Structure formats: structure tokens, C-alpha cells
Structure 1
């Protein structure tokens, strides 16, 4: 089983009312944890013991959340104080259809299971139909409302012995080589660099104008763009792996990528901001869903070792050349060597 979160946008007719319920939810949780802290133990209680405008099912979930937070207080000695409005509904009290979601809310003192128009993709519907549903979290972000549903999705199994190696970089975000002989280059490093530079210049201008709120919004927008790029690249990689019958994907262990990656001084800032780890996580969970195992390998010298004679050479620009006569694209060399790295040894770990 694979743990995932499905994010669904929906459209409440009274967003101010949902916002009020979200504030009430965190008020109840904070109050219960403070009471438990003063007593030294979490008291036995039901929804009848809690004064709140929340529906009983949601209030019960708030009690469970308060218990969880109180256990953390006992372990860490610090009581976290919730501030951002949120609203949790357990899997027995919400319903999702092709174009809507429904969950209980309280209106004028009466609890009613209310249906909201929602946007669901075909992938969302497929995962919801096949998965074990968990909690639903209602949040508001930049004026938009989302339902985040945690699910445990079943994973399939692939029995072939084909392998794929992935080399990550800035100029070419991901280069893949498979044991069937396929080579693919994913992403556009030049475009990425151009977009990042535009965000950086815009932030600099806003900084001179002391517009801190606008800088934060711009940072969130840039992160969303980067996340979207990583989602698209990881989807293309996993689709290619499925088409080629790959059973194992080998990726670099990223512990020291910022020290060992090939980069110039002008690319250093891009390197330190690009989310290599996020891309690997996206590849990992999408591959697991289709039964492809993902493992980490030691990337030491994979970009320098000749695939033919194993002699180490440093690539010049985009070409790798060896004295034995071998020459090729340097990212292809890295991906090929990663693919050939042994899976079961002290340097290879499950991703």
C-alpha cells in the first residue's frame, strides 16, 4: 500500500461560514489540550462534554486530535498552539462523487451534510475508487478552498528484469537510460533557469520597495511552479518506465549532490534552490503505484567513469570523451553508470 494525499478544489457558497467553523475547530483543540495539560492527563469525554458549534462527528475528531497533541506535549514538553483554521472530517462522514464532495457543517445551530461542487481529475477518481480512504482536511489557501483526502492506494507488481537509471542535473533536469536501450531527456534546463531568474529579479525589485507580503506570495508562486515541473517530469519518467517494462528504477543518493554536482559559479544559486529531492519523491511514489521498485545508489564517479574501460575522465561541456575512443553525452554516461550500479550492497538503499 502507498500513502498518498488527494487534493480536491471545491466551491463553498458561504466561505465565511466554513472559515468560522475552521477557527472553531482549532479553538476546541487548543482548549482541550490546555485543559489536559493543567490536569496532567487527558480526561474522559464525549462530544456532549464540549461546548462547540461543530457537528458532533467533527467535534469527536477534534477530541481525537487534542489527544494526539497532548501525547506530543508529554513527550516534548511543549504545547503546540494551532493558529491556522482547519476542519477535519473522518472517512465515515464525507462522500465524494464525480463532481462534488459532501460533509457535515452546522448552519444556524442545525447540522446538515452539505454538498459542494468540486473539480476532480480522472486520476483522483481512480485513486478514490481503489484506495482505502482516510481523514479529509478542509483548508483555505489564497482565497481558494481545498479538500485534502489521505488514502492508502494499492500497488501492483512488475515481474520483468528491466532496469532504468536516472541522472539529475540543471541543464538537463533528468536523463534516463534503460536496459532495453532507450534513452530519454526530460525537462528544459534553459527554460527553468530563465523562469527562476525572472522570479529572482522580481523579488529584488519588490525588496527595494519593502513589499514583504508580495515577496512571500511570489515565493509561493515560484514553489508551485517548481512543484508542477517536478510532477510533469516524474510522470513522464514513470510512463516511460512502464512502457519499457522496467521493474527497478535506480536513482542517485542525494546526500552530497550540492557538493558533487557539475555546476559553474553562475549556476550555483539555481543548484541550491532546485528541488532534486522532491523530484525523486514524486518518481518514487508514482513508480510504486505501478509496481516499479525505486532504489538509491551511490553516485560516486558515475559521471566520470567510462562505461567501456572504467577509466575516469572529466567531461568537457556536454561531451564525455575517453582515451579508449568512447565518447557520448555526459548525462547519458551518468545515467548509464547509475543503471549499472549494483542494487544489493552496502551503498544501495530502498528509496
Structure 2
């Protein structure tokens, strides 16, 4: 089973200069080799010695492999594709990852030399990179350098128990999980999330008065990274909770229309429109699948209002849910219970 780990790089100005050069040279080389093969009407047998460009031998060989792959697609496409986006690729024998640094060779003053570029890695990414590594692909997206590393991980063993877990996503409590056996756990701290968002907003306002646009962009990146890290940690602990309780299926609300249907007050409206429920759901889904746990999406309609005991719809006061039949509990826990039994989208529960 293969997964791609995306890592943000922080190259120095000198390193960025070398990355720009080798990326442009790489894509130019691939296009040239494809054109040569089209003219010859066959895949050419080439080695690094046949390719006279300013790149390390290992990168030349990778460019040859990529050119052959593109040429094989030419007959299906019935046209010669021209690659435009600058990129460079190294195989797994030509780069190393040391803590928060990625080392790989580039071409400097006519010689192949290794550079060590600082990388921002989460704990989860560090753990993934302990598995068998594939190719390293470096490209620039929206003025950010991104490393993409293919990782081969052991395939999961599918859990065949009959235990289902419903997960309710929200603002005050980012995630609440309830199992069909009655186990409940709350994940994340909504108050802390809102505090951090207000802090970043205040800092942006001050920087905006000084018209420090670059500083604002860096602050936005920092905030996004913080939010992603929180979502990764919540999803990781949530899936670990599912594994511990032998859960075979995790059910989530279908979030395509959450901004119209979510339970929120006016003071939480801004947070609702900036917090990524979808990203957290995606993180939960792919971590669950890696653990052999199936993920299903259900209709979110009235999940926080219907009484799990008698089926009556009730409006809640703050976080407390109480029904005339005597059932009472935390509102988000009610949603989790109802999600377990809600109709599955694209199927029947």
C-alpha cells in the first residue's frame, strides 16, 4: 500500500536558486527526450552519459525513466504532451531524511553536491517516513516549496467486528465519538482553537496597519500549519480510540452542506466559516482506512435533536440534552449515538 507524504520545505536563498535551476533543467530534459523518442518512433535506450545537461547522474536517470513513461502515453493521447510545471525527482537511493532536514544532490559549479534543506515535519509524518521510502518529488506551489515522498506501508487487516462508532464534529468540541457498546470520548479543545484564531486575527490586524504583507502571509502559513497539526492529532487519537475499542466501522456526518445545517450561534458564525470540518473528516478517513477500519457517511439531519430512546425531536439548551421520556446526556453525545443509526449516504445502514 502506497501513500504520499507532503512536506513543506524552507530552503535558504542559495538553496532556492539551485532548486529553481535543477527543476527547470529536469522538466526541459524530459520534454527533449520525449520529443527525441517521438521522432525515432520508439523508446530510446539511454544512460546518464547520453544526456548532456547540468544535473547529477541519478537525476538524469530519473528524467530518462519519466520520459519513457510519458512516451508510452503518447499513443493513447494521440498527441505529444509538453510538461510545463517545473519539478525534479530523486529516487530513494539519492536522498536522506535526518530529523527535520532532507538531503539530496543538485548541480553546483559543474559538480554534483548534496544540500540539506530544512523541512517542517509533524510527528505523524515522521512515523510514516519510518516505512519503506519511494521517490522524492520537489515542486513549487503558490510560492512554497513542497516535497512529496512516496511511502510503502503494510496493508491493513480488515476488522470484522460488529462494533460501530459515530463521530460528531463541531466547534466547541472538535470531535465526539460514541461506540455502539456505549463508550464515549471527547477530542480536542474548541475554546483553545477559538483563542488561537483570535490571536492570529489580532496579529494580522496590527501587521495590516503597517502594510507588512509578507509578514501577514507568513502568519497565515503559521496559522494553517497549526490548524492542520491540531486536526492530525485529533484524528490520530480518535482512530487510536477506535482501534482500542475494536471498532470495525466509523460513521461521520456528510459535511457537504454543513455551513447551512450546522448547530451554531451568531458569535460562532465566523469560526464556522473558517474552520475546516472537511479536512478533519478526511484525516479521520484515511487514518481509519490505514488501520483497516471502514468509514461511512450518514445523513446529518436532526442528529443532535432526535432522542435515541423514544425518537422525539427536542431543542437543546446549551450543551445539555433532555427528553420528556427521561433520557438526558451531553448534546454532542446524542449526535454521536444518532450517527451510528442514521441512514448511510449511498447505501443503507
Conserved? CA contact 2:3–2:152, under 8 Å = yes
Q: Distance in 2 between matches of 1:188 and 1:147?
A: 31
Q: Structure 1's 95 and 251: CA in aligned 2 closer, same or farther, altered over 3 A?
A: same
1:151 Cα shift? 1.4
Work out whether residues 29 and 65 of structure 1, in 8 Å CA contact, stay in contact via their aligned partners in 2: no
Structure 1 residue 109 corresponds to structure 2 residue 105 = no
1:1-351 matches, cutoff 5 A: 1-5=1-5, 7=7, 16=14, 19-30=17-28, 33=31, 46=46, 47=48, 50-62=51-63, 81-82=84-85, 87-94=88-95, 103-111=104-112, 114=114, 127-128=128-129, 130-131=131-132, 133-138=133-138, 148-157=148-157, 158-343=159-344, 346=347
Q: In 1, distance between residues paired with 2:221 and 2:6? A: 20
Query: Using the alignment, how far apart are the partners of 2:314 and 2:182 within structure 1?
Result: 23
Q: CA shift at 1:335, angstroms? A: 0.7
Secondary structure class of the residue paired with 1:285: helix
Call closer, same or farther: CA 1:66–1:216 in 2, change over 3 Å. Answer: farther
TM-score (norm: length of structure 2): 0.79
Give aligned pairs, total: 341
Question: CA contact under 8 A between 1:90 and 1:135: conserved in structure 2?
Answer: yes
1:68 and 1:192, CA in 2 relative to 1: closer, same or farther beyond 3 A? farther
Q: CA offset at residue 163 of structure 1? A: 1.2
Instruction: Give the distance between the partners of 1:196 and 1:5, measured in 2 at CA.
Output: 26
With over 3 angstroms needed to count, the CA separation of the structure-2 counterparts of 1:2 and 1:301, relative to structure 1, is farther
TM-score (norm 1): 0.79
What is the distance in 1 between the residues matched to 2:320 and 2:175? 16
Preserved CA contact (<8 Å) 2:308 2:334? yes
Contact 2:30 2:66 in 1 (8 A): no
226-235 vs 278-287, which deviates more?
Answer: 278-287
Q: Displacement, 1:186?
A: 0.7
- C-alpha deviation, 1:128, in angstroms: 4.8
Residue 134 of structure 2 aligns to a residue whose secondary structure is strand
Q: Single out whichever of 114-123 and 260-269 deviates more from structure 2.
A: 114-123
Q: Structure 1 residues 32, 135: closer, same or farther in 2, change over 3 A?
A: closer
**CA gap 1:90/1:194 in 2 versus in 1, 3 angstroms:** same
State the 1:104 CA deviation: 4.0
Checking the alignment, whether the CA contact within 8 Å between 1:89 and 1:137 is kept in structure 2 is yes
Change (3 A) 1:4 1:147: closer
> Take 2:257 and 2:40, find their aligned partners in 1: how far apart are those partners?
45
Distance 1:115 1:218 in 2: 27
Say which SS state the counterpart of residue 135 (structure 1) adopts.
Answer: strand
Structure 1 residues 35 and 140: CA distance shift in structure 2, 3 A = closer
Are the aligned partners of 1:30 and 1:82 in contact in 2 as well (CA < 8 Å)?
A: no
- Aligned counterparts of 1:33 and 1:244: Cα–Cα separation in 2: 53
Preserved contact between residue 166 and residue 174 of structure 1 (Cα < 8 Å)? yes
CA distance 1:30–1:315, shift in 2 (3 Å): farther
Separation in 1, partners of 2:322, 2:122: 47
In the TM superposition, what whole-angstrom CA distance separates every residue of 1:156-176 from its partner, at most 9, and x where no partner exists?
222322111100000010001
1:200/1:41 Cα in 2 relative to 1: closer, same or farther (>3 Å)?
farther
Where structure 1 has 5 or more consecutive residues not aligned to the other structure, the ranges are none
Partners in 1 of 2:239 and 2:299 — Cα distance? 21
User: Could you say what secondary structure the match of 1:167 adopts?
Assistant: strand
